[in-house]
Structure 1
Amino acid sequence: MRMNISVPDELAEQVRARDLPISSICQDALREAVESHDKKERTMTDIQAVVERLRGTQNEQRQRHIDEGRELGILWAKQYATADELRKVAEGDGQDYEQGIGSSAGIAEFYAEVENDYDEEYQEEHNDAFVEGAREVWEAVKSSL
């Protein structure tokens, strides 16, 4: 197939003066451009797959922190909290939890004892789940107290 290309006059003169093989140089340049385009396209397809995979890991990690927060809330409520502490956390707006209420059975001490080290990126979700877990226990026991 024949193609016509345009080049500036000055460049054409420089190429002719050096007796350069225009056709093979253009073919090589076009091949290189096609390969570069294809590589970018493959990379972008791969990148999209990587993004999707990484989003999935974020969701998994977020859910793990939520599940862990709920389990710790239940554990704290069942084995560490006093009735007043549990009521405050379960019926409050979550501030009591965030401030680490109580004395020896306080939440801050509880976390130190169970050696839980949650990711600050998911702290809010973890905290909400902790309160929800404690609330579940409170709802189950409050009528018996």
Structure 2
Amino acid sequence: MFDTATFKVLDIQHFPIITVRNYAIRAGYAMQWAREMDVLVAHGRPFVMLYVEPPDNEAHEDFRQRGQWLKQNKEALARVCTMLITVEPDDDRREEARVRGRGATRAFGIPHRAVGTLAEALDLVSYRAPMFSGNGRLGRRSS
């Protein structure tokens, strides 16, 4: 399906649940992120993106490049990315993530939720994204 060795920023081992690797968020990462996103979009299968305790140290240039990619690929991404979920145990940071997520939802049309634990995130995936089963594998849709 995917060559996992080429994915440095996104952990795709549990596809269709994808987790952003925090340690990969370093100055200059946006080009690699864009290549990985291109592969996911071209693949055409739905997925959910998890941000687990995301760092807030993204370089301005990376933020700009990611924003440009997101604008250029908005429609294609919305067809495959069914939800963005931020896992943040800290109440204040979780509320900040909720606010940022509302803006992202308006801009890109992809639902965002912020939760306190990974267990909550996985429950949300199984409840809100019915094409996924609880074990992280693509489930069958009923016709």
- Shorter-chain TM-score range: under 0.3
Choose between structure 1 and 2: higher helix proportion. 1
- The two structures have a TM-score, normalised by structure 2, of 0.22
Whose radius of gyration is greater, 1 or 2? 1
Greater fraction of residues in strand: 2
TM-score (norm 1): 0.21
Higher RCO (Cα < 8 Å, 6 or more apart) = 1
